[in-house]
Structure 1
């Protein structure tokens, strides 16, 4: 199963970049506002015209298909804990790409996640 770790990590990296792309799209588009049919329609138009949104959706689709390949070759109990890597990647990318401030406690939590993941991969 460990030979699929590169595919697992690639899928998760694409998902994390997709998430950052979607956040970048929302930063450009702005808030959603109140829930109404008119706002939903306007929101869909704004999202459909934003290249970061398209990039985010495309990366999610590729990531999902890669994940399906992973699931066809590994047990879910082995593969799914790797999804926690996405949290760490999002923290890292958020600071670099989105200039978000991340607290020391979140970074410490990320270290705990990585240690836990290392324990799982060795079992």
Structure 2
């Protein structure tokens, strides 16, 4: 994977992770969904800026991913975007104060190792 391709991958992943973060922040504002309030909450979704921003980030991330797919094999690009999991866990830990159990760290290390093996060129 060239530096340009890696940069495009990183842009796609970071923007998509930002989308996940904003969707979570919007979901916190939205509150818990119960059977009785599901329709009103769905209508309220369009009034929460974080949800709209999260969806916009997902859209921009998808465009960057499509551009990446014009340059890189799917068998490399699809597993490589899993590095987004690492960024999501870090955002959860540092900003949302979510704990990271040891077993999750082990799982993340497997993801990192797998991505390195997938994108490695001999």
Same-fold status (TM-score > 0.5):
yes
Deviation at 1:33, TM superposition (A): 0.8
| 2:85 counterpart residue number | 87
Deviation at 1:31, TM superposition (A): 1.0
Task: Kindly indicate whether residue 48 of structure 2 is the aligned counterpart of residue 47 of structure 1.
Answer: no
Distance 1:75 1:95 in 2: 32
Deviation at 1:45, TM superposition (A): 2.5
The gaps in structure 1 that reach 5 residues or longer are none
Distance 1:22 1:111 in 2: 26
The gaps in structure 2 that reach 5 residues or longer are none
Matches within 5 A, 1:39-78: 39-40=38-39, 42-78=40-76
Q: How many residues align?
A: 120
Retained in 2: the 8 A contact 1:29–1:47? yes
Distance 1:78 1:21 in 2: 27
Per the normalisation by structure 1, the TM-score is: 0.89
Distance 1:64 1:121 in 2: 20
Q: Alpha-carbon deviations, 1:71-97, whole Å to 9, x = none?
A: 112110111111211111111111112
Q: Helix, strand or coil: the match of 1:102? A: coil
Q: Helix, strand or coil: the match of 2:45? A: helix
Query: After TM superposition, where is structure 1 displaced by more than 6 Å over at least 4 residues in a row?
Result: none
Task: Kindly indicate whether residue 15 of structure 2 is the aligned counterpart of residue 14 of structure 1.
Answer: yes
CA RMSD of aligned residues (A): 1.5
Distance 1:73 1:19 in 2: 25
Distance 2:29 2:94 in 1: 17
